[in-house]
Structures are given as C-alpha cells and as structure tokens.
A and B are shown apart, each in its own frame.
Chain A
Amino acid sequence: KQEVTQIPAALSVPEGENLVLNCSFTDSAIYNLQWFRQDPGKGLTSLLLIQSSQREQTSGRLNASLDKSSGRSTLYIAASQPGDSATYLCAASRGSEKLVFGKGTKLTVNP
C-alpha cells in the first residue's frame, strides 16, 4: 500500500527566501508524481507533474525533482513571495489509478 509523507507540516519564511518542500513515498513503482497547491477553502491547482521517466520539471520559479530509487520528491520555490502562501500537496499515482496524497505542507511567506 502506497503511503506518502510530507515534511515539514508547516513552514514560515521571510519574503525572498528560497525554500524546499519534501515528499517521500513508500512504493517506488509509481508512474507519476504530482504537486498541487491548495488555497484555503479552494480546490487543488496542479503545479507540476513528473513522469517516472523524468527526473525534474520546471515552471517559472518552481522546480520539482523525482528520485524513484530513494522514494523522494522535492519542490523548490525560488524567491518566495507572500502570494505563494498556501498548502502544498504531493501525490503519487500509477497511471490513471488514484492519486495517493500526503497531508501537505502549509507555507506562510511573510512580507
């Protein structure tokens, strides 16, 4: 059974800081690793998807990496801004099967 863990549960940083969010998973037989952002009271916004054949994906100030052998993914946020404050969730899946989510990291970026 796949289990996904995210560390830390909460993170508070000053504006402009670079930061890393961590995600680990127990079953390395995944097809995709997807990172989401969730604002309070809102649904999930897909940020990045890394296929099992890839090692990283980049979108703007975001960079996500995947190491299947160690069961880890990281989300790197460069030059953080107050608008980046949200909960970040990672999820692993095997193709079209269900996403298995971590509990998320709540990020606060202070002006």
Chain B
Amino acid sequence: EAGVVQSPRYKIIEKKQPVAFWCNPISGHNTLYWYLQNLGQGPELLIRYENEEAVDDSQLPKDRFSAERLKGVDSTLKIQPAELGDSAVYLCASSQTSGTSVPNEQFFGPGTRLTVL
C-alpha cells in the first residue's frame, strides 16, 4: 500500500516568491492534515480537511498561506509571498476517520523542506 506522497521534497526560493506544495494522501483516507515543523520542534497543525471541507484552519496565516483540496483527494498548500521565517519542513498527513471504532491513526509523508533566501 502506497503511503502519503509529497512533492517536491526540497525547495529553495528567494523571499517574496510564491511556492506550492502538493500532497496525495493514502487511498481511502478522508482526513488530510498539513503540519509545519521548525527545527528542533514538533510539528504544528496548519490546516485540517475532512473530505473537501477545511474544518480547522485556525492556525493558517491566511494573509500569505492558502490551501485547497479539490475532489477530496489531493491537496495543495501555497505561500505567497514567502518570507525568511517560512523556512521549515511542511508535512502532510492523512487518516481514516469514518466510524467511532476507527482509531484515527495519522500517517505522514516525507515532507517538503523549504528554504527561503
């Protein structure tokens, strides 16, 4: 079974440039998460989707960050314009959350390491 796929794995851009990250979750997983991980820290949630609906975007800096999950499968996270402080690892995760008996285990992709110069 294929895991969570993310691309690109690495991205280096100049500040003020736009950047986009793509995520393909595990087949059948209806919940998709984007997390941000700074060096030496645990990941922090940016946005959570259940199917096509963004159900928690309270931590997403909406002035420069946007995300979409068309057709409830793949998702794209965009930053425009990027700032130096956005340098971090962006992780995508997915889980199957239908039914109360499902443990809602989250599975993570390899991440995209963003460097803003």
Q: How far is the CA of A49 from the CA of B106 in the complex (A)?
A: 9
Q: How far is the CA of A68 from the CA of B100 in the complex (A)?
A: 19
A24 interface residue, CB < 8 Å from B? no
Which of A13-21, A58-66, A77-85, A99-107 binds B? A99-107
Given that A34-B105, A49-B105, A51-B103 are contacting pairs, would A99 and B110 also be in contact in the complex, using a CB cutoff of 8 Å?
A: no
Q: A32-B103, A43-B109, A99-B106 are in contact. List 12 more A-B contacts (CB 8 A).
A: A31-B104, A32-B104, A36-B108, A43-B110, A43-B111, A91-B42, A95-B104, A99-B45, A101-B44, A102-B42, A103-B41, A103-B42
Interface string of B92-110 (1 = CB under 8 A from A): 0101010000011111111
Chain A residue total in the interface (Cβ 8 A) = 25
Interface residues of B (CB under 8 A from A): 4, 6, 31, 33, 35, 40-45, 48, 50, 56, 91, 93, 95, 97, 103-111, 113
Given that A96-B50, A96-B95, A97-B48 are contacting pairs, would A104 and B42 also be in contact in the complex, using a CB cutoff of 8 Å?
A: yes
Q: Which of chain B's residues have a CB closer than 8 A to the CB of A96?
A: 31, 48, 50, 95, 97, 104
Q: Which of chain A's residues have a CB closer than 8 A to the CB of B91?
A: 43-44
Interface string of A9-39 (1 = CB under 8 A from B): 0000000000000000000000110101000
Residue in A4, A101, A104 with the greatest tally of chain B CB atoms within 10 Å:
A101
Interface residues of A (CB under 8 A from B): 4, 31-32, 34, 36, 41-46, 49, 51, 89, 91, 93, 95-99, 101-104
Question: In this complex, what residue of B is CB-closest to A99?
Answer: B106
Q: Which of chain B's residues have a CB closer than 8 A to the CB of A49?
A: 103, 105
Check B111 against A93 for contact (C-beta < 8 Å).
no
Chain A nearest CB: distance from B105 CB in Å? Answer: 5
Given that A96-B95, A98-B56 are contacting pairs, would A32 and B42 also be in contact in the complex, using a CB cutoff of 8 Å?
A: no
Check B104 against A42 for contact (C-beta < 8 Å).
no
Q: How far is the CA of A45 from the CA of B95 in the complex (A)?
A: 14
Check A97 against B103 for contact (C-beta < 8 Å).
no
Question: In this complex, what residue of A is CB-closest to B112?
Answer: A43
Chain B nearest CB: distance from A106 CB in Å? Answer: 9
Which of B43, B50, B110 is close to A101, meaning CB atoms less than 8 Å apart?
A: B43
